[in-house]
A and B are shown apart, each in its own frame.
Chain A
Amino acid sequence: MATGTTTMAKDTILKVEHLSMKFGGLMAINDFSFEAKRGEITALIGPNGAGKTTVFNCITGFYKPTMGMLTLNRSNGKEFLLERLRDFEINKVAGVSRTFQNIRLFSGLTVLENLLVAQHNVLMKASGFTILGLLGLPTYKNAAKAAIEKAEYWLEKADLTDRADDPAGDLSYGAQRRLEIARAMCTGPELLCLDEPAAGLNPKESLTLNALLRGIRDEGTSLLLIEHDMSVVMEISDHVVVLEYGQKISDGTPDHVKNDPKVIAAYLGVEDDEVEEIEEKLDKGIIEEGTV
């Protein structure tokens, strides 16, 4: 596997450097860099069309970036350059797992089966690539039992134990969101990327989601999430990166970002003369970039 030459601080799990993505003439992401720390929840926010999902698709291998380097640092010390891995290897080898903005469950499979499919690679190895499993060897039987236990653990966490034998398509929207997260966790990732996990949830469901995400972080999985719901972002994230028109405009703790005039301008809009005013101040160095 591709091993990066740059040495990274031990506590950085993902380092994105100079990421650019071009669709024809459109520059969706322009020279975007940030770092996600191990054991933290990093949030990626920005107005609609800022390029957040494009960043996600680059990290998880659905797009090949035009430029840039994406380095993932696993806890065992191995480093992977994500842009060089094949799409499925990003999960299998590098341990990055993701969910989707528009939920992508296996709706015709039961909830339990969804979680078992997520453990495909482990089970595949245990079944000797199907051949030993067909012969009925105990290694596969034990692995299958362990897989069901792991699935049960995540069913419990996601509060879906009662629905284990129902088709995934039959679940309510909030439950489908939780199932998608549980499924992603069943692959045993080190970095979990969530694309708008709170979209379409009611306030109560939002709260349970927060608890679930915190639980995942406390068990040692780092999270990277895109979110519009500021109550979720400000509540649970340790680190926020703001993206607008494909460029980073702010980066820091939730409190820092909340008060950044550039972020406020991006979200609420400002009068034309105010923009000039801020730019003037920036030029003169009265206020420093990235501070209040």
Chain B
Amino acid sequence: MAIASENNVQPDVMAKAIKEAVFAGVVAFCMFLLFVGIETYQDINNQLVWRTRWGLLAVFVAVAVVGRFVTVAFIKPHLDKRKLAKAKTGVLDISEEKSFFHKHFLKIALVFLLCYPFLAMMIFGRQGSLKYVDNFGIQILIYVMLAWGLNIVVGLAGLLDLGYVAFYAVGAYSYALLSSYFGFSFWLLLPMAGILAALWGVILGFPVLRLRGDYLAIVTLAFGEIIRLVLINWTDVTRGTFGISGIAKASFFGIWSFDVGAANNFNKAWGLPSSSVYYKMFLFYIILALCMLTAYVTIRLRRMPIGRAWEALREDEIACRSLGINTVATKLTAFATGAMFGGFAGSFFAARQGFVSPESFVFLESAVILAIVVLGGMGSLTGIAIAAVVMVGGTELLREMEFLKHVFGPDFTPELYRMLLFGLAMIIVMLFKPRGFVGTREPTAFLKERKAVSGSFTKEGHG
């Protein structure tokens, strides 16, 4: 818009904003009329009846109208003005000095994570911290680890795997079954679960990795479902949908046990009051260590020839073959390594829950893990960790938002809307940061200086 007309811009913008807000309202009304406006339920006689929820529908439409109005009338002109001012002064974003927090982000994050359980205990008390260590800390870190594992397959090697949760299930069930049938300890079964999952990765990968792109995605999706269906139907071994309960807890390297009745109980040995929070804190540090192991191995592997070959495979498979790289073997190692970390996470999950059932390994889990990898920025460990915190922490936070009941009525259960949150987050990130939170790529070797590679050069891989 010309600068001369700046004064008479305001009414123009207002008229436009009102027009767009009405339009958004109409679209929202049409979309939500059947989804939100009408609800079906079963009455006492088990008959399906429906009732209307005009109030809730009105809230949805109002949010759309007001949101669109504010965006067009205020936010967009403000952003444009800022951009214009920046262009005039000639200050570019890239030339700005990084802040202290930005520079030392990783160190600060690690120190915070190491202190986190103690901080939670200090602030919320012994029982109060249980929720923060377990639901937030451990839950998020499990997803961080899974996403970092999947990152090797999807982010580095560019193989779209929609059945990653299968390896998580293999790890969880190997621990659950081997510990309840043979009584092996957690520390023996943790590496075994990883190896078994990696083995499954190779067994699956061998026939499947000839496929590329969409075809590979569909077959891995099917494999994930096959594993789940086997777990449901092989009732003699897995007890089907009932799942396996009473799985042994992890011990403190065999020295102290966390079982309440045991003679070498950890709490007794250290004179601590009996509370499950110490076990949770111990689990928190185990999963933190496992995450660090995943990150360390990923970082080291990226600088090895195998890691470079993975990334080269993502960029161009045909060129890889012309350079004498055995693409099948390279893909298999990526698949197996990713699967191994899935297996580690699975066995940890089984030890933490004390109960596994096929319910925990549905396709939705694969989709969530993949969404975290994509949102974080494929290949970037920091971005993925941030995405996991936002997405998993966000869904956990939704449970806490009791006040929403005052807005939407007492029947409103906020955690049912977590998928909406996921969708919203994806749309926002993909609009503003199409390559994820961290879209740049760190080179693995350099001659003079290490320059980050812009996301616009890297490829997503075609299978």
Contact = CB atoms under 8 A, between A and B. Distances in A.
Interface of A: 60-62, 87-92, 97-98, 100, 104-110, 112-113, 116-121, 123-124, 127, 129-130, 133-134, 148, 152, 155, 161, 164-170, 183-184, 187
Contact of B309 (A117, A164, A184): A117
A92 B320 CA distance: 11
Contacts of B305: 116-117, 119-120, 123-124, 127, 130, 133
Contacts of A130: 301, 304-306, 333
B88 interface: no
B457 A60 contact: no
Given A108-B459, A109-B453, A152-B447, A88 B308 contact: no
B458 A108 contact: yes
A90 B325 CA distance: 10
B321 A87 contact: yes
B325 A88 contact: yes
Contact of A112 (B304, B320, B324, B446): B446
A87 B324 CA distance: 8
User: Which range contains the number of B residues in contact with the other chain?
Assistant: 35 or more
Contacts of B306: 124, 127, 129-130
A108 B446 contact: no
Contacts of A165: 443, 446-451
Interface in B30-70: none
B134 interface: no
B324 A109 contact: no
Nearest to A121: B324
A217 to B, nearest CB: 20
B444 interface: yes
A91 B324 contact: yes
B73 to A, nearest CB: 40
B89 interface: no
A261 B171 CA distance: 72
Nearest to B446: A165
Given A97-B322, A104-B322, A110-B451, 7 more contacts: A89-B324, A113-B308, A117-B308, A120-B325, A165-B447, A184-B322, A184-B323
A100 B443 contact: no
Nearest to B441: A108
Identify the interface centre among B326, B450, B456: most chain A CB within 10 Å of its CB. Answer: B326
Contacts of B321: 61-62, 87-88, 91
A199 B256 CA distance: 71
B447 A104 contact: no
Contact of A107 (B315, B325, B446): B315
Interface in B326-383: 326-327, 333
B322 A98 contact: yes
B445 interface: yes
Contact of B315 (A106, A118, A119): A106
30 contacts: A62-B322, A88-B320, A88-B327, A91-B321, A97-B323, A97-B324, A100-B318, A108-B314, A108-B457, A108-B459, A109-B312, A110-B443, A110-B446, A116-B444, A120-B308, A120-B325, A123-B305, A124-B306, A130-B305, A130-B306, A161-B447, A164-B447, A165-B451, A167-B453, A167-B454, A167-B457, A168-B457, A170-B457, A183-B323, A187-B323
Given A91-B324, A130-B304, A165-B450, A113 B318 contact: no
B403 to A, nearest CB: 45
B76 interface: no
Interface in B416-463: 441, 443-451, 453-454, 456-459
Identify the interface centre among B297, B309, B316: most chain A CB within 10 Å of its CB. Answer: B316
Contacts of A107: 315-316, 457-459
Contact of B445 (A91, A112, A167): A112
